[in-house]
Chains A and B, each alone.
Chain A
């Protein structure tokens, strides 16, 4: 079964400091990994996906198959980054299990 683990329930950093939100996954094949974000009073929305290899709002994430990780990073945090962040996985077998989410990390950026 596929599983996503986000070990930090809450992460608080100061504005301008680097941010790293951890995500580890368990899947026997080649998954597709995503980060979704939910800002206060807004809908859950896609932040980035590993196949795009792009930076969104200054965030990047690299898929490390050896460590089965997909950590989200940003070099300089901004107050508007405060939100709930969910790591998610979909299997290569056609996604019959749908998109599996981690429990989420609440990121708070302090001024």
Chain B
């Protein structure tokens, strides 16, 4: 199966500018996640979608970050305006079905290659 696709792979912007990242999950995966990984740290969940609905966005800085998954397939994550501390790798991941389902693979995430953001 094709993997999780992300673009762009790299982006350099100045603070206060805006940026958008795109993710296309594995076909048929209902759950999609956006993680932020700052250098030297583990990935931190920003937002989790199940189909086109938000399951959890408690750690998403909503004053500047937004995400959508309008048709329940691909997703975009936007930052506006960007701050220096937003420099990180933004990882998209997907999993097979709802984590509340009986599928034993439901909790296994497949990750994309990530989008590295540098804010100057």
Contacts and interface: CB of A to CB of B under 8 A. Distances in A.
Interface of A: 4, 6, 32, 34, 43-46, 49, 51, 86, 88, 90, 94-104
B116 to A, nearest CB: 12
9 contacts: A32-B107, A43-B112, A44-B91, A46-B109, A49-B107, A86-B42, A90-B99, A94-B99, A103-B40
Interface string B52-67: 0001101000000000
A88 B42 CA distance: 9
Interface of B: 3, 33, 40-45, 48, 55-56, 58, 91, 99-100, 104, 107-114
6 interchain residue pairs of minimum CB distance: A101-B42, A98-B45, A95-B99, A44-B111, A94-B100, A103-B42
B99 A97 contact: no
Nearest to A86: B42
User: Which label, helix, strand, loop or mixed, suits the secondary structure of the A interface?
Assistant: loop
Given A90-B99, A98-B33, A103 B41 contact: yes
Nearest to B91: A44
Contacts of B111: 43-45
B44 A101 contact: yes
Contacts of A96: 55-56
Contacts of A45: 110-111
Among A90, A95, A96, A104, chain B packs the most CB atoms within 10 A around the CB of A95
A104 to B, nearest CB: 5
Nearest to A44: B111
Contact of B107 (A43, A44, A90, A97): A90
A46 B108 contact: yes
